[in-house]
Amino acid sequence: MQDHSQKETFLKSYDLYSDALFRYCFFQTSNREVALDIVQDTFTKTWEYLAHGKQVENLRAFLYRVAGNLIIDWRRKKKASSLDSMQESGFDIGFDEREHIENKIDGKQVFTLLELVDVKYKDVIIMRFIEEMTIPEIASVTGESENTISVRLHRGLEKIRKLYKEIK
């Protein structure tokens, strides 16, 4: 790619994919700020890669792969803090706040169920149903075969159905 067309392609890809990448990262992290940081890092790393003269055949797939790798890195670094440890350090939820939170639980069942399935299933479910990617696109992003993606999607949905029945 020439420098000018490379820059145009990169800027166009930002316009086309930044919102979708944010949604993908948000569903993976459940944290708006972390998702924004990962999207920013994704585009920064991609630009650095392109600036070194390297070629990318499918920019969308490349961006999702970079974002996926950054999410994996974030998960490795993340320190889970439980409500108990937060309460031990002085955090308390008042009665009105607790009732408000409990009323929102039904609306968050999707997030909860996604958090309960294995990451390999969660990833393909998010890409397929939230990002509306096709099986071949998901295969390109993950580097897996289309058959493997189809099987993971099927098994992931089965696990979510089973979990949903258990909580109802």
Where do the CATH 1.10.10.10 domains begin and end in the chain?
A: 94-168
The CATH code of domain 94-168 reads: 1.10.10.10
Rounded to whole angstroms, how far apart are CA atoms 122 and 156? 7
Question: pTM of the entire structure?
Answer: 0.61
The two tokens of residue 142 are 């993950």
Rounded to whole angstroms, how far apart are CA atoms 121 and 1? 36
For residue 13, how many other CB atoms are within 10 A of its CB?
A: 20
Tell whether domain 1-78 is in CATH 1.10.10: no
Where do the CATH 1.10.1740 domains begin and end in the chain?
A: 1-78
Angle at 68 between CA 147 and CA 39, to 5 degrees: 135
Q: pLDDT over 70 for what percent of the chain?
A: 80
User: Over 90: is that where the pLDDT of 77 sits?
Assistant: no
Non-local CB neighbours of 76 within 8 Å, separated by 6+ positions: none
Per-residue pLDDT tens digits for 9-48: 888 999 999 999 999 999 888 889 999 999 999 999 999 9
Average pLDDT of 153-158?
A: 91
